[in-house]
Amino acid sequence: MKRLIMMLVFLAVGAGVAGGYWYWQQSQQGTAGGTKAKGKGGRGGPLIVKAVRAVTKPMPVLIEAVGTVEPEQSVQVRAQVSGVLKNILFKEGDKVKAGQTLFEIDPRTFQSQYNQALAALARDRAQLENARAQQQRLEPLLKREFITQQEYDVAVTSAKSLEATVQSAQAMVEQARIQLDYSRIVAPISGRTGQLAVRAGNLVPASGGGAPLVTINSTDPILVSFSIPERQLEEIRRFQQGQGIRIGIHPDQSGPSVAEGNLVFIDNTVTAQTGTVLLKTRVDNAKEVIWPGQFVNVRIVLTVEPDAVVVPEVAVQPGQQGSFVYLIDAESKVRVQAVTVSRQIGNEVVIASGVQAGDQVITEIPQALQEGATVRLAGAEGAPGKGKGTGKGKKGGGGKADAGEQKSNGKKGEAKVDVKS
């Protein structure tokens, strides 16, 4: 019985091994047949790519930095006298003008002090008038020797003392008037108000205690401060002394400029920790497109290169030996071309060397693309160089058409190079 069970087990294992081997053979044959069929259907066909022509156009030579928007003037409004805050005559975030009343502190105490000072001044003036009249009455009596010199000197001294008393009383009146005016708090500058730190009905202390009642920031014009490496300072100063420097402010790095200004400040020292120099530009901000404390992109336009060779950013590839692009030659073959990148502006790259205007550069690169491969433009019936827009004759489909487009699209005295794909 034991031998029978062992034989059945060996038979089952052998059947399993044989079945597995047969299944593996069938799968290998199927895979080979599929590969062969696939290779037969795709062998020898050109790769389909998208490409554009390198163009020449004016491009700025610029320095880019990250800047911080800051108000040209910023004032913390505080009370200069203590008292109960009676009225708030604006809303948080309002734009205010210089001299506009913002707060009112209960003025009754200061009004009474002012009235008291006025009364003391009136009393002292009356005493002064009486002393002067007494001096005038005694003066002829002295000449006739009806009174002594001492009696006359006492009258003169009394008049002069009362003159000083009147001047002191006038100063007290002025001080009381100033205290009364301080109960009415006005905006020292024009700008936009921030968050209120106190509400009506609260006791506010004089200057130096607690938070400011409100902060006012001027928003037009406004400053943008930024730092550049010290090696670029000489270049900026050279262009500033020549034709001047135009500075654009871009909230979004790839977006358009929302404001432009002039360089108004260069710090007189280099920051030792970072090796940078602080600069500031003043820009008009009537529409308040930028806000104090905001981070923005700053583009310093030094000059404009009139005939820069430009290709799309996606066409430039990084490599171990530097940047390169894939070019399509006249025979529809791919050639790897090393390039020197001058600068990038938005989605465009300025090429210093390696590419000339009119060269076709591949913008969408297939994974299997290699140097020497034959390619065909997406949407074209023939291969590049034999199809549309490749610089051949009429049979090739595009050389004369391109020239005609340049002639019709360009203005008098200049040739416009179209970007073909």
Residue 41 lies in a domain: no
Residues (pLDDT < 70) of the chain are: 1-6, 8-10, 13-44, 208-209, 242-244, 379-421
Shared domain for 317 and 401, answered yes or no, is yes
Tell whether 203 and 127 lie within a shared domain.
no
Q: Is residue 122 part of a domain?
A: yes
Find the domain containing 265 and state its range.
Answer: 63-71+218-304
* Structure letter (DSSP) for residue 202: S
Give me the pLDDT at residue 298, please: 93
295 and 358 in a single domain? The answer is no
Residue 95: inside a domain: yes
How many structural domains is the chain composed of? 4
Q: What are the residue ranges of helices labelled H in 144-230?
A: 149-182
Q: Are residues 126 and 249 in the same domain?
A: no
Pick the closest to residue 53 from 241, 409, 248, 325 (CA basis). Answer: 325
According to the model, what pLDDT value does residue 383 have?
A: 39
Tell whether 94 and 206 lie within a shared domain: yes
* pLDDT at res. 409: 38
Specify the pLDDT at position 366. 84
The answer to whether position 288 is within a domain reads yes
Which one of 217, 241, 261 terminates a domain? 217
| Pair (311, 344) in one structural domain | yes
- How far apart, in Å, do the first and last CA atoms of the chain sit? 82
| CATH number, domain containing residue 367 | 2.40.420.20
42 inside domain: no
- Give the pTM: 0.62
Report the pLDDT value the prediction gives residue 2, as an integer from 0 to 100: 57
Q: Is 331 a member of any domain?
A: yes
In a domain, 24, yes or no: no
Token pair, residue 19, equals 């079945």
Closest CA to 202 of 79, 81, 84, 80: 84
- Please tell me the distance from the alpha carbon of residue 250 to that of residue 252, in angstroms, as a whole number: 5
DSSP per-residue codes, 52-100: EE-EEEEEEEEEEEEEEEEES-EEEE--SS-EEEEEE-S-TT-EE-TT-
pLDDT digits (tens, 9 = 90+) for 150-191: 988 898 999 999 999 999 999 999 999 999 999 999 999 999
Query: Is residue 193 located within the same domain as residue 323?
Result: no
Beta bridge partners of 229: 276
Co-location of 87 and 199 in the same domain: yes
Residue 310 sits in the same domain as residue 399: yes
Does a structural domain hold residue 18? no
Question: What percentage of the chain's residues is helix, strand, coil (to nearest 5)?
Answer: 35, 30, 35
